Structure 1
Amino acid sequence: MDELLSVSVGAAFVGGDRPVLRENIDDLSKMVEEADVLLREKGRDDVEGFGWINLPYQDLSETIKIGRWLSGFEAIVQIGIGGSALGNRMLAKALLPPFYNELDASVRKAPKFYLLENPDPKTAVSLLDRLDLSKTAFIVVSKSGSTTETAAHFLWAWQKVREKIGERASDNFLIITDPRKGILRKFAKSTGCRSLNIPESVGGRYSVLSSVGLATASALGINIEKLVQGAKEMDQRLVLRSHLWENPAWLLACINLLHAKAGRNMAVMMPYGDDLADFAEWFAQLWGESLGKEGYGTTPVRALGAIDQHSQLQLYAEGPDDKLITIIDVKNRPLFLLPDVVDIDALKDLEFLYGKALGDLLSIEARSTASALVKAGKPVIYLNIPEVSERYIGALVFFYEYVTALVGFLMKINPFDQPGVEQGKRYIYSLMGRRGYEEYVKEVEEYFGACQNTEIII
């Protein structure tokens, strides 16, 4: 059986005067086993929040059909934020060629792809001004349909497309939302535009392997069957690992819990390679929003090797001992050889690079960084994937969803809700004048007043 990923945890037991010990891990064996049983039982019953565990076994036929339709447009704009966009960003970065939108259409053979996330007018206007709206598909993603940033972008895009092509505007829109309720479900029914369901039991940050992430991926030529197959293989392998020291998801969950208890309240995710840069972005939401509640959680820190060796590594090595660092390396990268020889005397000191592969340099840097951190007494998890392709990205995504959920259960919190986010949403609704939220205006004024209590103007 070929590997989907490998995890090395020997350096996770480094840690100055607060090391995590192997016997500490063994003490959690029964607890993590019970957490795993709970996760699978509630997943099998399709309990709210747990449905993502079933996504590797979904029927993809409707999503692929929609993907074929989307592929006929010149451009696709996904309107969403958080879990309705980060997964798409991650898949596109990992699995499409670099500078994808700049490729000639004959090379690209698929639509250009854009995201409308942050409600920044400069970005929004610049994007729509550069597109032929009659040849652009808009994918609007919100489970509730009332996510403020998404709703604002949607209203604006809908109006602009209607001005361009009139009553046929609905032909350019795909709605991805709750199957039964919400504003967007009503809109899809009333206009007859195409729609896909977000399973009711799947939350936004766990939704990348649902229609939320897969519709655009399919349209852009990413093989979503292989993506989901990788997740399925990961699930099937994890379920067979019934011993703590043989199950990497159990092991990483326990290690993260114990380092959090030891005061390491930051989880650094540092993949090596530009194609995994947005995996760290996706991980940050998954980890932070799932685990940051009731006084628990560790702060996710995005880093990118080798770039952040030159910006963050000094802090990681010699700064506070408050971080657990995960490095992701890739075994097989595209071959890019440096010159065998450069016939310029002034460059003789660089001959150690002659004939070397650029990808090998990146992996050497990953190993060197890990070694430097271990020498400095800082704990490191070293994870390897065979290559960056659909199967292995699907497996990696599912693996970290699984680890995150288990850490939540070990912390005795719900990894599938986000009460802190909901409070912010209520304040936004109140200030934007949404009916039913008037009572929160005074609260916002009171608490924001504390922010302005000591104002210095220069």
Structure 2
Amino acid sequence: MVENPLIKLEQYKQSPWLDFIQRSFTQSGGLKKLVDEDGLKGVTSNPSIFEKAMGHGTDYDEQFKQLISSGITDVVTLYETMAIDDIRAACSVLYPVWEKTHGLDGYVSLEVSPYIAMDGHATLEDARRLWKRVAEKNLMIKIPATAPCIAAIEGAIAEGINVNVTLLFSLDMYKQVLEAYIKGLEAHLAKGHHIAHIASVASFFISRIDTAIDKQIDQRIAAGDKESGALKAIRGKVAIANAKLAYQHYLEVMQSDRWKKLEAAGAKPQRLLWASTSCKDKTFPDTIYVDQLIGRDTVNTIPPATMDAFRDHGTVADTLEQNIDEAKKILAEAEHLNLDLKKVTDQLLEDGVNSFADAFDQLLGSVGEKQMILQGNKLTHLQSDLPSDYETAVKTGLDKWRKNGTVRKLWDRESSVWTGKDENKWLGWLDIVDQQVENLAELEEFQKEVRNRGFTDILLLGMGGSSLGPEVLGEVFGHQAGFPRLHVLDSTDPQQVHSFQQKVTIATTLFIVSSKSGSTLEPNILKAYFFNEAKKVLGDKVGQHFVAVTDPGSHMEDVAKQDGFWKIFYGLKSIGGRYSVLSNFGIVPAAAAGLPLQEILYSAQRMEKACSAGSPPAQNPGVQLGTIFGVGVAEFKRDKFTIIASPDIGSLGSWLEQLLAESTGKVGKGIIPIDEETLTVPSVYGKDRLFIYLRLENKIDPQQEKAIAELKAAQQPVVTINLHDKAQIVQTFFQTEFATAVAGAFIGINPFDQPDVEASKIETKKITTAYNEKGSLPVITPIVQEQGFDLYAGKVEIAKLKGLSTISEALKSFFNEIVAGDYVAVLAYIERDLATREWIQKLRLAIRDKKKVATAAEFGPRFLHSTGQAYKGGPNSGVFLQITADDDHDLPVPGEKYTFGIVKEAQARGDFDVLSGRDRRVIRIHVKGNMKVGLDKLSQSILNIL
């Protein structure tokens, strides 16, 4: 029999390694067979190899299912868990080789994350982590030979970590790598450690060099280059010549006194490993990069097809040290012919880093897709129906995020994702769910205590992010048997405050005062009022009926301690109010109301992991949605986001409205969310809309389904978030938070500040302070008066309305200003109840249908901490009708001269003044006398002039 060429390599002290790993191959005994029959001495892996193994076929399905059923995790952890199992199994097969060769061979290589190839510090950290996690003596950690990672290579060796240095192309870089290895050994030895167990290879890539050089040669020959003869003479020879000179440098260093000293201490040489040894050019022998690179103290990591070819007809001889002078001449000739090997190898390194990152994206994408499939209904489903140009722009945006690694930058909290300012300080919401899961026992204990105390009602006192999230949770999950009923009060309207007071039994009510900063006006005066009222009933025990949710060090914390509150729960300063629903601001009220905390938090955690840093943009539900949002605004001016929600989750719209408006509406840009605008025929809608359909799968509304289908048919863009059950609203919370942050990056704004909300607060403060000082509000003069109404105009409208004598004339002039692309917002500072909600809804729909523009129906001061930001700071396309009314009765604010009615008036005036100061089109109509009669008369006047 002819001796197996693979076995014969051992005579020349070259070790054949396999550039391939696959679970079924290892489990079936195929890998062991190569060890036994072909003298295989090592295995290398990379993202491309794992992508083919994990992304195609069924080898990993069983473990996929086990991992998904055993806990909630992200795609990187899924991949690593399965990959490490494969690496360990291969290590087990190769361990006898490791023992037999005394640690020279028998290694299996696992790569650090390709994403951090240009970050030496992160690479060393990842190398340490993987080394500890795999915990096999015959493991090698693959580290790329980039300039930033030279220090990581040295550091890993200094810590006793075996290293496979990959992506080596140039002789100069190889010299640095070998120096790093020696310095690492010296450092380890200097610490008093043995170094005989440390092993390393330097993976020098071959065929890619010839592919790049030969492409230049072929192009020049085809163009009739005068040096065609010389170019042909070196075609297919540069890579081998480059490798031979690298080996010559290795031999020189091995003879140095410095190395001899390390060798005497037991050091193993860092062998050159020939990588990328499959031949791509069919005009050359398929085993050329094995045949021509055989030499002592080297490794050839061979792909399966090339290994089969070499076994069949490979030629074994000591070729590596032959024709060295010729190799030098070839490289000199390449330089003479201006083939620029340095430029080529630099580019190959850059391309190699990028291609490995791309392969890792594909790998994680495959894992993510399979995870989605196997999770089934445990995760919401996102579907987009977009016009073709819109869809193309979204794909382009997603690919740009993939290439730039922007998802990872976001999770790394890099402000450069947005405007480069203080965004990094506001990203605590990213992993708050994990923290809440860890804190679950404490939350469940609080839940039991609430139940045991026999409370019948919970009255949450808050505004904006502190109230809207809990309101959604309470309305969607409903009253839980055995627990108090949750009520959410977020108004200073005295009638509304009184109505809520009548809804609860104070003696058995738990009051939750919710305020991040602790200085927000509304929660403070609501606390003052209800604490005073409760004290009348409860006496000295009043504090035991109060709980605060606030940030540490806030004014509200001081108040809570001073007044003996039962409990204080803390928020995170790194989470803004509108991103706080999954923090204590949403979860504490949910706990008190008896909602299923474990179900809620685990469900939210699934979405958090689905949006993780390792989930590529095209498979990342948060990035997908955010790209649709951001591209719609930035490239197509579709900034009116119309929210359609299944009835059972309808309140989700008001929460999303705040998130979108307050996050993005600033510096003249942003999203104008449109909530509760009942769908109609497509012809009413312009080209400024994006429809967001929050669809509860098991409770769909046939009329909504029909209307959505008509919108899609009319080529209106629709994005559907399909919830399989109502508990998945918490997944929608996280997904849309993430999407809003992503959209902010596309739009070019900071999605975490709210400068124009503060402007309204400042104006309100001026007015209430003036009232406290003077006992009256500043006098303002209407420009039109008639029985039952006063009309005031902002500075943009004054000149247009001046001289008009009736409200109808003024309204007609005002509404005639509306053009395509505008939106109309009705801002009503009145009690928000069923009757007023029906009234404002009827009015806004009539305006929409007549003017064919988006309409918003808002109640003040509730909207000030929500859409109020976008109305003042967003695109100047709003037409604002502010409505105020006489209060039937008023309520005092304990400790202040002003009343709730005065505060509401001050808020309306402050809002109006800021809108006017921002050159918004705004008028205010004050209804005098009977509010219901006045509102009906006003709406009729508007309907008549439309």
**Shorter-normalised TM range:** 0.7 to 0.9
Q: Is the 8 A contact 1:144 1:177 kept in 2?
A: yes
Q: 1:115 aligned to 2:484?
A: no
Residue 331 of structure 1: how far off its partner (Å)? 2.6
CA 1:146–1:457 in structure 2 vs 1: closer, same or farther (change >3 Å)? Answer: farther
Cα distance in 1, alignment partners of residues 425 and 613 from structure 2: 25
CA 1:30–1:174 in structure 2 vs 1: closer, same or farther (change >3 Å)? Answer: same
Q: Is the 8 A contact 2:411 2:613 kept in 1?
A: no
Candidates 524, 529, 535, aligned match of 1:151: 524
CA 1:68–1:264 in structure 2 vs 1: closer, same or farther (change >3 Å)? Answer: same
Q: 1:94 aligned to 2:94?
A: no
Cα distance in 1, alignment partners of residues 795 and 375 from structure 2: 57
What does residue 185 of structure 1 align with? 557
Candidates 444, 447, 467, aligned match of 1:67: 447
% identical aligned pairs: 26
Residue 80 of structure 1: how far off its partner (Å)? 0.3
Residue type matched to 1:370 in 2? Answer: I
What does residue 6 of structure 1 align with? 381
Q: Is the 8 A contact 1:63 1:211 kept in 2?
A: no
Cα distance in 2, alignment partners of residues 115 and 5 from structure 1: 27
Residue 244 of structure 1: how far off its partner (Å)? 3.2
Residue 237 of structure 1: how far off its partner (Å)? 2.0
Q: Deviations over 1:418-449 (max 9, x none)?
A: 001011111111111189x99xx99x99x987
**Gap regions ≥5 residues in structure 1:** 101-106, 334-358
Cα distance in 2, alignment partners of residues 321 and 448 from structure 1: 30
Q: Is the 8 A contact 1:317 1:372 kept in 2?
A: no
**Gap regions ≥5 residues in structure 2:** 1-373, 416-421, 782-791, 808-946
CA 1:452–1:271 in structure 2 vs 1: closer, same or farther (change >3 Å)? Answer: closer
Q: Is the 8 A contact 1:84 1:212 kept in 2?
A: yes
Cα distance in 1, alignment partners of residues 689 and 716 from structure 2: 8
Cα distance in 1, alignment partners of residues 660 and 564 from structure 2: 37
What does residue 36 of structure 1 align with? 407
Candidates 735, 749, 754, aligned match of 1:399: 735
Q: 1:324 aligned to 2:698?
A: no
What does residue 313 of structure 1 align with? 680
Higher-Rg structure is 2
Q: 1:55 aligned to 2:432?
A: yes
CA 1:207–1:23 in structure 2 vs 1: closer, same or farther (change >3 Å)? Answer: closer
Task: State the SS of the aligned residue for 1:325.
Answer: strand
What does residue 602 of structure 2 align with? 229
Q: 1:77 aligned to 2:459?
A: yes
Q: 1:384 aligned to 2:722?
A: yes
Candidates 414, 424, 428, aligned match of 2:764: 428
Residue type matched to 1:66 in 2? Answer: F
Residue 367 of structure 1: how far off its partner (Å)? 3.8
Residue type matched to 1:406 in 2? Answer: V
TM-score (norm 1): 0.80
What does residue 336 of structure 1 align with? none
Candidates 766, 789, 795, aligned match of 1:450: 795
Q: Deviations over 1:57-111 (max 9, x none)?
A: 1113333333333333111100001101100111112112xxx4xxxxxx83211
Cα distance in 1, alignment partners of residues 557 and 430 from structure 2: 24
What does residue 636 of structure 2 align with? 262
Q: Is the 8 A contact 2:638 2:687 kept in 1?
A: yes
Residue 257 of structure 1: how far off its partner (Å)? 1.9
Q: Is the 8 A contact 1:43 1:51 kept in 2?
A: no
Cα distance in 2, alignment partners of residues 144 and 126 from structure 1: 27
Q: Deviations over 1:108-144 (max 9, x none)?
A: 3211221111111112112223433121111001112
Task: State the SS of the aligned residue for 1:108.
Answer: coil
Task: State the SS of the aligned residue for 1:125.
Answer: helix
Cα distance in 2, alignment partners of residues 7 and 247 from structure 1: 10
Q: Is the 8 A contact 1:35 1:410 kept in 2?
A: no
Task: State the SS of the aligned residue for 1:199.
Answer: coil
Task: State the SS of the aligned residue for 2:386.
Answer: helix
Task: State the SS of the aligned residue for 1:109.
Answer: coil
Cα distance in 2, alignment partners of residues 202 and 164 from structure 1: 36
Q: 1:371 aligned to 2:709?
A: yes
Q: 1:174 aligned to 2:547?
A: yes
Cα distance in 2, alignment partners of residues 23 and 195 from structure 1: 47
Residue type matched to 1:429 in 2? Answer: K
Task: State the SS of the aligned residue for 1:48.
Answer: helix
Task: State the SS of the aligned residue for 1:195.
Answer: strand
Q: Is the 8 A contact 1:141 1:176 kept in 2?
A: yes
Cα distance in 1, alignment partners of residues 797 and 743 from structure 2: 37
Residue type matched to 2:648 in 1? Answer: D
Residue type matched to 2:641 in 1? Answer: A
CA 1:129–1:452 in structure 2 vs 1: closer, same or farther (change >3 Å)? Answer: farther
Relative contact order higher in (CA < 8 Å, ≥ 6 apart): 1
Residue 405 of structure 1: how far off its partner (Å)? 0.9
Q: What is the count of residue pairs matched by the alignment?
A: 401
Cα distance in 2, alignment partners of residues 233 and 85 from structure 1: 24
Residue type matched to 2:461 in 1? Answer: I
Query: How is 1:212-361 mapped onto 2 (pairs within 5 angstroms)?
Result: 212-239=585-612, 242-260=615-633, 261-272=635-646, 274-303=647-676, 308=678, 312-314=679-681, 316-333=682-699
Residue 282 of structure 1: how far off its partner (Å)? 0.5
Q: Is the 8 A contact 1:206 1:401 kept in 2?
A: yes
Q: Is the 8 A contact 2:398 2:624 kept in 1?
A: no
Q: Is the 8 A contact 2:604 2:730 kept in 1?
A: yes
What does residue 396 of structure 2 align with? 26
Cα distance in 2, alignment partners of residues 187 and 23 from structure 1: 51
Task: State the SS of the aligned residue for 1:78.
Answer: strand
Q: Deviations over 1:338-385 (max 9, x none)?
A: xxxxxxxxxxxxxxxxxxxxx5xx2x4444323211222211112212
Residue type matched to 1:41 in 2? Answer: D
Cα distance in 1, alignment partners of residues 568 and 604 from structure 2: 25
Residue 407 of structure 1: how far off its partner (Å)? 0.7
Q: Is the 8 A contact 2:460 2:514 kept in 1?
A: yes
What does residue 281 of structure 2 align with? none
TM-score (norm 2): 0.40
Task: State the SS of the aligned residue for 2:694.
Answer: strand
Q: Is the 8 A contact 2:386 2:715 kept in 1?
A: no
Cα distance in 1, alignment partners of residues 745 and 471 from structure 2: 28
Cα distance in 2, alignment partners of residues 176 and 153 from structure 1: 14
Cα distance in 2, alignment partners of residues 432 and 279 from structure 1: 33
Q: Is the 8 A contact 1:35 1:409 kept in 2?
A: no
